[in-house]
Amino acid sequence: MDSIWENSLVETAAYYSVVVLCMIVFLTIFELVTKYKNWQEIKNGNIAVALATGGKIFGIANVFRHSIQQHDSLLDMIGWGVFGFLLLLIGYFIFEFLTPKFKIDEEIENNNKAVGLISMVISVGLSYVIGAGI
């Protein structure tokens, strides 16, 4: 059994599968904490939601990229990836808290592209900082 895990193709497929599953779970969590329905808004052409969601997807993937590079076991990679996601989620709430003059979710839902872009850049930027710490 150990020889199977030493095969690069099997290892890559395992990491890929786990990250895809985590991505689905984490995007579902983001869907639950936002006041709008991400995929419905994207289907309706809301660019701000697409930017913010794209930033979240990139951020999660980037955290897992660093987690895969820095950890040898699948369980360690998952653990650090989950921790990184939680930090991204906290960053989302901090962004909302630091903008008391308007509600981030409402602005993004109303297709405020500037807020969507800033949200994307925050997710991407934080993912690099989190990745460096992993």
Q: What is the pTM of this model?
A: 0.88
Angle (CA) 129-14-77 rounded to 5° is 30
Instruction: Dump pLDDT digits (tens) for 93-121.
Output: 999 898 888 899 999 999 999 999 999 99
- CA dihedral angle for residue 85, residue 99, residue 35, residue 67, rounded to 10 degrees: -10
- Burial (CB < 10 A; 0-12, 13-18, 19+), residue 125, is middle
* Residue 54, CB-side half-sphere exposure with 13 Å CA sphere: 13
- Burial (CB < 10 A; 0-12, 13-18, 19+), residue 80, is buried
Instruction: Dump pLDDT digits (tens) for 5-63.
Output: 678 888 889 999 999 999 999 999 999 999 899 999 999 999 999 999 999 999 999 99
